[in-house]
Amino acid sequence: MEDLKRLSSFFEQFENISVKEFITAPYVIYPQENHFPLSFYLTRRAINAYNLYLKKMLNSDPDSDAMLEKAEESFEFIQKFISEKGINLDDYPRHCEGLSNSMLLHLKDGKIPIYFIFSLNDAESVIKSIDEDLIMLWFDSNFFEILSKAKFKYHKSVKLKQLINNKIKIIKTIK
């Protein structure tokens, strides 16, 4: 029961962490292990697994079932975010809270997949205009290489591109 309270407190403190992905991450990163006790999720190894999972998601296949599911969840997140902030989808790539670009922060936190960058107006140019030191602080030093590969994969994708285009049309009609 104590572990559950500590884990609950952890998620309250770090609202940017997706509970679902945090719980799923070790099963993806350590596939040879088939069970992780609750106490595992209170360790540094669990946090490392989550960070590795987020990095793996940056490089994942755009048409995979996991990415399509992530895209669905991400659009729900974006729709809620732009509604709460009183902005439209076209403003989202340039929206900042304090000194932080919201879209980049959401990408870092795993709230949106990297492939969204190529479907939103000005998103790619906004990312390329952000200070490279900040990009390297939040992501790996090879982020722009990952971005380039993701762009190639996105343009070759069928399912994800169609899903994103459909969701964008829906969001634009709501707002």
In this prediction, residue 162 carries a pLDDT of 94
% of the chain with per-residue pLDDT over 90: 50
Q: pLDDT tens digits, residue range 123-142?
A: 999 988 988 888 888 887 88
Q: Find out whether 73 and 164 touch, Cβ atoms under 8 Å.
A: no
Cα separation values, 89 from 5, 11, 43, 82, Å: 37, 28, 38, 7
Each residue of 19-32: pLDDT tens digit? Answer: 888 999 999 999 99
Q: Give the pLDDT confidence of 68-123 residue by residue, as tens digits.
A: 998 999 999 999 999 999 999 999 999 998 888 999 999 988 899 999 999 888 89
Q: Tell me: the pLDDT tens digits for 108-118?
A: 888 999 999 99
The two tokens of residue 46 are 């669990």
Give the C-alpha separation, 105 to 100, whole Å. Answer: 7
> CA-to-CA distance for 77 and 47, rounded, in angstroms?
22
Is the CB of residue 157 less than 8 Å from the CB of residue 118?
Answer: no
Q: What is the pLDDT of residue 172?
A: 83
Does pLDDT of 175 surpass 80? Answer: no
